[in-house]
A and B are shown apart, each in its own frame.
Chain A
Amino acid sequence: MWRENGNTHPSGLDDLRGFVQSPACLNSTLSSRWPTLLRSPIRTLFLALMLVSGLWAWATMRFETELLPILPPGLPSVRGLENFRQLALGEDEVYVVPNPSLSQEQREGLLEKLRPALSGGEGVGRVAYPSGDLVENAGVFAAWILLNAPPETFRRAKAAFSDELVLNRLHEIPEKLAGAVDPVEIETLRFDPLGLLEVLGSNSSVVPISGIPRREFLVVSPASPLPDTAADSRFVDSLQEKILETLPAADRDQVLLTGPPVFNTEISRQMRGDILFMVVIAAILLGGSFYLFYRTLRPLGWILFFQLLAMLSGLVAARVFFGGLNVISMGFASILLGVGMDYCILVYHHFASPDRDDSGVWRTLRRGIWFSALVTASAFFVLGFSSFPGLRQLAVLVGFGLLMTAWLATWFLPVVLRANSKAAPDGIFRASRTSASWILRRRGLLILSMVCGLILLMLAKPWGRSGQLYVDSMERLRPVGTSAFLAQEWLMKLDPSASDAIYILRASTHDEIRNAVPALVKAANPDEPVNPAWSVPSESNRSANLEIWNDQTRPRLEALFSEAGIGSEWSDNTLRMVSALDGAKMGDSAAFKPVTRLLQSLAGSDGKGAFALIRLPGLSNNPVPPAGWPADLQNLEILPVSWVTLANEVAESAGNDFVWLGLGMFAAIVILCAFAQRSLVLLGLNLLALVLAFCLFLGLLLVTGVSLTPLSLISIPLLIGLAIDYSLHILMGLEHERGNLLKTFDHLAAPVLLTGLSASIGFGVPMLTSQPALQNFGLVMDLGVISSVVACLVFLPCVYMLCRPANRN
């Protein structure tokens, strides 16, 4: 140990002790920062460890672009959407969609040109129209529906296969055809000459049996699964290339691609572009601001280096706890930059100020940083109890990152700063003192204006404007700017079932599901006559129906068709249907093989029981009855596949979460602030700063007309972290300087202002990106940062003077 300027300092190699003691040493002996930093084996070890683990986390991290994984997995709509994707959507399928504003023949012309071209594309396995399988195998599918139909329906169908009835029906064909001017009539009769669709019931119009192919879009499946985003990109690029080669320039904009691989490709490219753009713009603006304050840039490089290390540490934690991160959670990592900069700038300002050798000031500052980091990180860790996985990721990423930033700022950063830190320009201190003097002189006026502002806010009745302040739409979370999204909109216009409400139903057996469907339909829409239970398999019906089926029906029918002079063009579908039934009767497991894929998209079983998908026409906007589902459906798990329901459930869940999470965060802040400051008055002042910042934020939202979304609602706890960070520093500084605002502002005004500025830049830059979710988030955060800085730097000192007159200087 050695002494300098009356202070005790640690020896150069005793880093850990030096970390907890004054760092103002060695500044005369060390001139190069890297050697200084690496001279200590412990620091070197830590740096290497952080870099290596950070790079490992980055390299092995699974980056997700999906929205659903960040929402509560227990919500029925989230489960419904997830299950629907697994059931009905090919995760790797790409949809080629023509512009719906073109005429039908133009659309079909484009698709017909593209179909052979895309089939020859790299990695393409299959190119088909959506109803391809269904049209080709409609007879087999009809057999499946019939086999699962109620026994009385099946008996009626079987009766229709009697020799007499079959011959009668076949002889009636000319009579039925006579006078038909609608080709649909002819085609329907050719498709079903025995009239079996009628046997399936009066609601057979919802039964998807038809000989009419749908040619609205193409479905392109890859030859092999696409394991990652890179493979998605290659596949999508090869399809785009084929489209460019095949279509003339005028038609290229008339066909778009959509589907999971296209979304993944576009979003990941946009994110990469956006991240690069944000980093460049933020670096320029941050560098400019820092230079404006301190006339130097080199320390900023060190600060950013340590920030990078802190972010890598957050990534390591996220990698260990979750194995992956969602891009939206990553977007929130900018809060880490915003708050972490605060600690680093405070440390830099200290070492660039005349008080750099004052160990008392350093101890206060270091203590402030640590308490601030603990309070804010604790607040974030409370978010770890949220039901939103996205919030849990955020909590871990930012919480660990903040603690690491505080550690790096107080252990590593001083080593490089004290070696040769350039003194801050006098202008900063002059400006700080002038500001402090101005606040001191006009504190009465400031308090009056604060009270008037609060009264005005009360008169504006923000509690009655929840619709203006918060919009629970999920639209901003959706990638509306992508061409994949536009193609999806086109698909919606072309898809005749776009207005259907879709449900995934779960129960222990399919029979339970099937029996509950009529009650569900009645509850969803009492006026709707359809019964979509045809799509639900029934173990008991199947078994009973097979009992009475004659497995030699096909040869008999073939002879009857031949006797009536009806050729295979008219008999094929019917014969394929009875073949499948004959096969099922004989126990042929491949009887329904041609429609396996289709059946898998309708129903199935897993470890949790049976599930099935049903559709109710026209209910897409109101899939759940206002009064909820009736009690007699309690054994049925109803999972709506609906963005409308998702928005409602997420809004409700977010509201519940924020009530108790907000209380938890508040309790954590109160406890830690009380522990840090050990004064009821100071604790009250901290909370008052929070209230003031919140009121200002609310006022700014009302004035600017900006609305919170479910995503930016999450920014409120982040803002609490920021506000408490500033108020802790200001109050601890005021306490340390015994209420001397001039001296306190010497240490804190410039750093807090610069931190606010850098946070505003950090959060503001996403507004320039193509992600609507990040744009709203950036704007809300900027309003929050401005509120926090003004509340803590302007109004808090005025209130402090009132509450701590003994400390007034």
Chain B
Amino acid sequence: MRLYAVSTRQPELIMHRFLCRLLILSLPATAFAGDLEERFLESQKNLKSLQADFRQIITSPGLKQPVVSEGRFYYLAPDKLRIDYTKPEGDYFLLNGNHFESRRRGKVPVVVPVNHPSARALTSLREVLRGTPPTGDFQKQVDRQDGEFRVVLTPATASPTMPRKIENRVDANSLALLGMCITTPNGAAMEFLLENPRRNQLLDPVVFSSGK
């Protein structure tokens, strides 16, 4: 009987589910058209480690200024990923095997299973770095500008619970992922930039220790 009902309870879980879905679907779907996609995936499969300066820019209609965050990005194949923020200082995200640890706004670190909705964005990013083929039904458009490919993915069916657009930037020579920008249905955009990337260099595993 109550299955007919319009649920009156909308826990945050749904919110998480919904907006994380943007990344769940979008990040593996940061695919590139045709050969480029295959070449990019092949290149990622050879990626053993990655360090980069990390910059994050959040814009939203209604906010005059973009919000910029900075830090350091680390990836160690196959399942370790970490972002250490210098701004806001002390914040970090750590994906290590089946655990996701995060510290936000100076609060106590929280550890959840890797399948927790809040971890899905970074697990999806990890899959891209691993070279896992993308999934999802998107229209793809590739342009070459200033020595980089800009790949724009648009959901085949527009939906308020799906990203309006995903734009990936890939270095035309090295095929390294330079950045990714996700535009939400409400027009907010979240851009991740990986600058000065250093691929396959020795990386101290201590970086991926909990709480460090």
Contacts and interface: CB of A to CB of B under 8 A. Distances in A.
Contacts of A81: 1
Given A84-B5, A88-B2, A179-B88, 15 more contacts: A81-B1, A109-B159, A112-B159, A131-B6, A131-B7, A175-B88, A178-B67, A181-B121, A184-B20, A188-B12, A210-B14, A212-B18, A213-B160, A258-B3, A495-B3
A568 B62 CA distance: 6
A219 B4 CA distance: 10
B85 interface: yes
A567 to B, nearest CB: 3
Contact of B3 (A108, A176, A492): A492
Q: How large is the interface on B (under 10, 10 to 19, 20 to 34, 35 or more residues)?
A: 35 or more
B161 A212 contact: yes
A643 interface: yes
B20 A212 contact: no
Interface-centre pick from B3, B11, B19, B68 (highest chain A CB count, 10 A): B3
Interface stretch (B37-45, B168-176, B186-194, B198-206): B186-194
A186 B184 contact: yes
A113 B91 CA distance: 42
Contacts of B83: 181
Interface string A137-177: 00000000000000000000000000000000000011111
A500 B13 CA distance: 14
B8 A602 contact: yes
Contacts of B118: 182, 184
Interface-centre pick from A181, A502, A570 (highest chain B CB count, 10 A): A181
Contacts of A535: 8
B56 A206 contact: no
B14 A496 contact: yes
B2 A641 contact: yes
Majority DSSP secondary structure for residues of B touching A: mixed
A205 B88 contact: no
A195 interface: no
Interface in A628-671: 641, 643
A194 B155 CA distance: 32
Nearest to B103: A179
B105 A176 contact: yes
B15 A108 contact: no
Contacts of A643: 1
A569 B60 contact: yes
B140 interface: no
B65 interface: yes
B157 A188 contact: no
Given A105-B155, A212-B19, A497-B9, A177 B186 contact: no
Given A213-B161, A215-B159, A182 B19 contact: yes
Interface in B134-152: 136-137
A95 interface: yes
Nearest to A82: B1
Nearest to A106: B137
A565 B62 CA distance: 8
A212 B10 contact: yes
A85 interface: yes
Contacts of A178: 56, 58, 67-69, 85, 87-88
Interface string B100-141: 000011000000000001100110000000000000110000
Nearest to B125: A181
A566 B65 CA distance: 10
A177 B3 contact: no
Contacts of A188: 12, 15
A134 B10 contact: yes
A567 B64 CA distance: 8
Contacts of B69: 178-179
A89 interface: yes
B58 A177 contact: yes
Contact of B16 (A134, A179, A184, A615): A184
A134 B6 CA distance: 10
A495 B14 CA distance: 10
A112 B157 contact: yes
Contact of A219 (B6, B12, B13, B161): B6
A93 B4 contact: yes
A259 interface: yes
A113 B157 CA distance: 9
Contacts of A500: 2, 9
Contacts, number: 211
B91 to A, nearest CB: 5
Contact of B14 (A212, A260, A602): A212
Interface of B: 1-23, 25, 56, 58, 60-65, 67-69, 71, 83, 85, 87-88, 91, 93, 104-105, 117-118, 121-122, 136-137, 155-162, 182, 184, 186-188, 190, 192
B113 to A, nearest CB: 16
Interface in A203-226: 205-206, 208-215, 219
A496 B15 CA distance: 12
A497 B64 CA distance: 38
B85 A186 contact: no
Contacts of B22: 183
Given A259-B4, A598-B8, A105 B137 contact: yes
A104 interface: yes
A106 B118 CA distance: 22
A601 B5 CA distance: 9
B60 A190 contact: yes
B186 A205 contact: no
B40 to A, nearest CB: 22
A95 B93 CA distance: 41
Interface-centre pick from A105, A173, A210 (highest chain B CB count, 10 A): A105
Contact of A183 (B19, B63, B67): B19
The 4 closest A-B pairs by CB, nearest first: A569-B62, A567-B62, A183-B19, A109-B157
A532 to B, nearest CB: 8
Interface-centre pick from B15, B85, B118 (highest chain A CB count, 10 A): B15
Contacts of B162: 105, 108
B23 A183 contact: yes
Interface in A81-106: 81, 84-85, 88-89, 93, 95, 104-106
Contacts of B192: 181
A171 to B, nearest CB: 12
A209 B4 contact: no
B11 A206 contact: yes
A292 interface: no
Contacts of A180: 58, 104, 190
Contacts of A571: 62
B88 A215 contact: no
Contact of A488 (B4, B8, B67, B184): B4
Nearest to B87: A178
Contacts of A491: 3-4
A177 B88 CA distance: 10
Contacts of B3: 258, 488, 491-492, 495, 498
B14 A179 contact: no
Contacts of A206: 9, 11
Given A190-B60, A213-B160, A491-B3, A184 B67 contact: no
A130 interface: yes
A108 B161 contact: yes
A208 B9 contact: yes
26 contacts: A88-B5, A89-B1, A89-B5, A105-B136, A105-B159, A108-B162, A131-B6, A134-B8, A174-B65, A174-B67, A175-B88, A178-B56, A179-B69, A179-B87, A179-B91, A180-B104, A190-B60, A212-B10, A260-B4, A488-B3, A488-B4, A496-B13, A500-B9, A570-B60, A570-B62, A617-B9
